[in-house]
Structure 1
């Protein structure tokens, strides 16, 4: 990757997003688990469930604060580092983010305060409603953000206006019901549920190993195992749906994930392992599972799946069409008229959907219409995302997914037999496994975002064309600043979380304030 404004801007957003996503999955999952625990408390009236709600709610609160602080910065980055992107798609992309802030974030933030300080001021039922409002608000935040991200992966319900030079909404309902966005939402939320389940399971296992808070730990593990097993199964099912949708709207991403250089005839095989090489344009030592890819990507055994080389050839044709669209667009702009000449309008509309492919040539020539065949060939190969990191990120993520099902299944079976504390090695394994869902979530983010390159909006706007006109040194300085600040925040969060876990749940005194205060440093 070249050390330039585009590379630095990508690194800055990627690092802030990776930091932010350390907190998001736990927030999503813990909010629901805490609401479930309080529901049991209201139904049974047993004090142990109130203590569980307060304890895990405290850990949720610490994580929530850090997630908000890192997430806000990301939204500002769209205007700072990606100003042309914000101008180009602001009418579409801005709407879900605005709705997320008005509907979800304020709902969540308001009820978080009521949850922590309303125990002695609200009835049981009212406080339970507050807990579920926090959980719903957290998940609503994810919904609207992923609607925006899903549109970047599959830009439906929109059209380019050659007079304003912007993408504009043509069907907001299509944006909301975008199948890619909906699949990403349920997949991401389920991953958050798995993350929180492993967190609760691991911390509770640590208490059992230490011989502390056994009753609370066993009940927490029972809830986490049941919830986590259902979530782990749903992650795999929903991941399969994402693979099917990728074949519909992001064929190059799918081919790169599979290291599939040649078109795979039906029934398409799945590369279990292998070593993709961009230089050789071949995947060496591939071990295949017959028919598996056909079932995942096409839901059939009769459809072939295009490989990278075929898709590159298709990209060359798209670039040629994009050049025609670019030529018509330039003539429309040169006319400087408030209306478009019908002949030019027809010429643009015929090839307008491929305009983004012509912009790929901007890396090699100022005017795409002057591009040579060699430059068109290079631009076509630029549509291939980094194959090796995609290939292995996907496989490690999938492998972890099946491990999560196995682990949660074992602990669910143990909880049903009331033998959660009978196997020390399983308890130790649960503690060691706490970070693994975060690893899987980060790898999933890498697959989703790296697989879209070179596009910031799939097939519409190249990433290189979306950045702000800033100096590389400015972006580098802020990148270093973000890394330092976020690392400090992460260390602080880990310190508070570990302090609260070591302190453990307190005896119920009809107030949540002492429990919160226990996580704060004292003089």
Structure 2
């Protein structure tokens, strides 16, 4: 029970935190792009765009920092055996992130906020680009730590202590898993921020407010979302091919493939018994041979199934269940893909209308784009659930089981109380954060002659 509660607590706080991370990463670059366009063209609309979206970026950034701090503490509190076993490796990229990347983005963010009327325009633009670079670097080092859990490299097991110890930081920072996960995450962040820009802009365009600001905002964001989403799908495809080699159980669960097959079919819709590993499907609508091609690039390739892999792992690692929760892995994978596909279709249509200057007249499309802001959040959350649930029962793939990673001295009652407390706290924070974001977004863009008070810019910071 202690393991399940600790997993629930970490899942709740992580998924909540990751609602803000992609927005802050993508929005930093979007604000930098708007400000660069103003610096190069002198058009007031771009300045108003940079100031408006900049305020929203700061709100999201502050919420992301506040919720991210909790993640660090959980490693030492609920997962002390994990920290003891892999701290020498896992702590290295996290330390680099905190000491280098986060200081970089926070320092230049301060310069950007307070230096608007004190720095030269070019230097002020450079500051926000440094913030954007810093957010990307933060993501890289954090993903390096997570990628090591998925595919451990650059380590050796100390026979005296039984701990995993770092032998090559270069291997950790160039992990093949990381080299796919990073662009997948960054591209997804661009799509997330772009969809949020489109949704807020659509809300104002429906009211015909600040059309000269929100019309260009959509025209700038729509191609970013379209290209980023398509590119995310392409990177995700090759990432899936890598997972077939490194984590075959995860990909077998993603396709509800219980029996090894060659060629293997792609599952469109499947159901099974209500159990973590039903060992078979009751209904499975399939496309013949397609999974073999998607997984390996060959139409007749063999793809290993859950049951054979489970037996193989039992022989290698000892008795136990080595399949994840198949239903959750299967459907989170499809939720991610489905949300991404919907974003591609919607932004393609939106871009077509925007190019023809038909945005304001297409009210049904604008109304549709407002709730469509939820799509990237669904895709992001489902993607992380798939990534983490699909690795179970491993905390570190092939090295440390999740059941062996929890803190032995922290009882279930303590975890339950803190989980309830964090959930309540995050619920209150969600209400406050959403209200602040919505109120700021509803004000609309600042007037051309309106100065943005420093106090207003530092509200979230």
What TM-score comes out, normalization by structure 1 length?
0.85
The answer on whether the counterparts of 2:23 and 2:189 sit within 8 Å (CA) in structure 1 is yes
Instruction: Say whether 1:516 aligns with 2:456.
Output: yes
Instruction: Say whether 1:405 aligns with 2:344.
Output: yes
Instruction: Say whether 1:44 aligns with 2:73.
Output: no
Residue 506 of structure 1: which of 431, 443, 446 is its match?
Answer: 446
What residue in structure 2 maps to residue 483 of structure 1?
423
CA distance in 2, matches of 1:515, 1:288: 58
What residue in structure 1 maps to residue 411 of structure 2?
471
> Deviation of residue 17 (structure 1)?
0.3
The answer on whether the counterparts of 1:116 and 1:512 sit within 8 Å (CA) in structure 2 is no
CA distance in 1, matches of 2:327, 2:266: 16
What residue in structure 2 maps to residue 269 of structure 1?
265
Which deviations, in whole Å up to 9, do the C-alpha atoms of 1:105-144 show, x marking residues without a partner? 0111111112222110111100110110111111111110
What residue in structure 2 maps to residue 459 of structure 1?
398
What residue in structure 1 maps to residue 288 of structure 2?
290
TM-aligned CA distance change 1:454 to 1:280, over 3 Å:
closer
Which deviations, in whole Å up to 9, do the C-alpha atoms of 1:10-51 show, x marking residues without a partner? 111111101101111111111111111111001101111111
TM-aligned CA distance change 1:518 to 1:125, over 3 Å:
closer
Instruction: Say whether 1:387 aligns with 2:383.
Output: no
What residue in structure 2 maps to residue 306 of structure 1?
304
The answer on whether the counterparts of 1:273 and 1:288 sit within 8 Å (CA) in structure 2 is yes
CA distance in 1, matches of 2:373, 2:430: 16
CA distance in 2, matches of 1:117, 1:229: 34
Instruction: Say whether 1:243 aligns with 2:243.
Output: no
CA distance in 2, matches of 1:46, 1:191: 29
Question: Which moves more between the two structures, 76-85 or 416-425?
Answer: 416-425
The answer on whether the counterparts of 2:335 and 2:378 sit within 8 Å (CA) in structure 1 is no
The answer on whether the counterparts of 2:262 and 2:292 sit within 8 Å (CA) in structure 1 is no
CA distance in 1, matches of 2:140, 2:278: 41
The answer on whether the counterparts of 2:202 and 2:214 sit within 8 Å (CA) in structure 1 is yes
> Deviation of residue 454 (structure 1)?
0.5
What residue in structure 2 maps to residue 396 of structure 1?
335
The answer on whether the counterparts of 1:256 and 1:308 sit within 8 Å (CA) in structure 2 is yes
Residue 54 of structure 2: which of 40, 45, 57 is its match?
Answer: 57
Aligned 1:360-371 pairs, distance under 5 A: none
The answer on whether the counterparts of 1:117 and 1:512 sit within 8 Å (CA) in structure 2 is no
CA distance in 1, matches of 2:216, 2:313: 56
Residue 316 of structure 1: which of 311, 314, 317 is its match?
Answer: 314
What residue in structure 2 maps to residue 122 of structure 1?
119
The answer on whether the counterparts of 1:105 and 1:137 sit within 8 Å (CA) in structure 2 is yes
Which deviations, in whole Å up to 9, do the C-alpha atoms of 1:73-92 show, x marking residues without a partner? 10111111111111101111
Question: Which moves more between the two structures, 276-285 or 33-42?
Answer: 276-285
The answer on whether the counterparts of 1:506 and 1:515 sit within 8 Å (CA) in structure 2 is no
What do you get for the CA RMSD once the two structures are aligned? Answer: 1.5
CA distance in 1, matches of 2:291, 2:191: 25
The answer on whether the counterparts of 2:187 and 2:232 sit within 8 Å (CA) in structure 1 is yes
CA distance in 2, matches of 1:499, 1:159: 52
CA distance in 2, matches of 1:22, 1:196: 11
Which deviations, in whole Å up to 9, do the C-alpha atoms of 1:450-504 show, x marking residues without a partner? 0011000001000010111211111111111111111111111101111111111
CA distance in 1, matches of 2:209, 2:451: 22
CA distance in 2, matches of 1:51, 1:237: 34
What residue in structure 2 maps to residue 75 of structure 1?
72
Aligned 1:4-153 pairs, distance under 5 A: 4-153=1-150
Aligned 1:137-286 pairs, distance under 5 A: 137-266=134-263, 268-277=264-273, 278=275, 280-286=278-284
CA distance in 2, matches of 1:89, 1:105: 23
The answer on whether the counterparts of 2:265 and 2:286 sit within 8 Å (CA) in structure 1 is yes
User: What is the number of equivalent residue pairs in this alignment?
Assistant: 457
CA distance in 2, matches of 1:501, 1:176: 38
SS at 1:306's partner residue? coil
Instruction: Say whether 1:417 aligns with 2:414.
Output: no
> Deviation of residue 174 (structure 1)?
1.5
CA distance in 2, matches of 1:169, 1:109: 29
Which deviations, in whole Å up to 9, do the C-alpha atoms of 1:292-351 show, x marking residues without a partner? 2112211222320010111012112203xxxxxxxxxxxxxxxxxxxxxxxxxxxxxxxx
- Gaps of at least 5 residues in structure 2 are none
What TM-score comes out, normalization by structure 2 length?
0.96
What residue in structure 1 maps to residue 386 of structure 2?
447
The answer on whether the counterparts of 1:157 and 1:171 sit within 8 Å (CA) in structure 2 is yes
The answer on whether the counterparts of 1:119 and 1:511 sit within 8 Å (CA) in structure 2 is no
- Gaps of at least 5 residues in structure 1 are 320-357, 359-375
The answer on whether the counterparts of 1:256 and 1:451 sit within 8 Å (CA) in structure 2 is yes
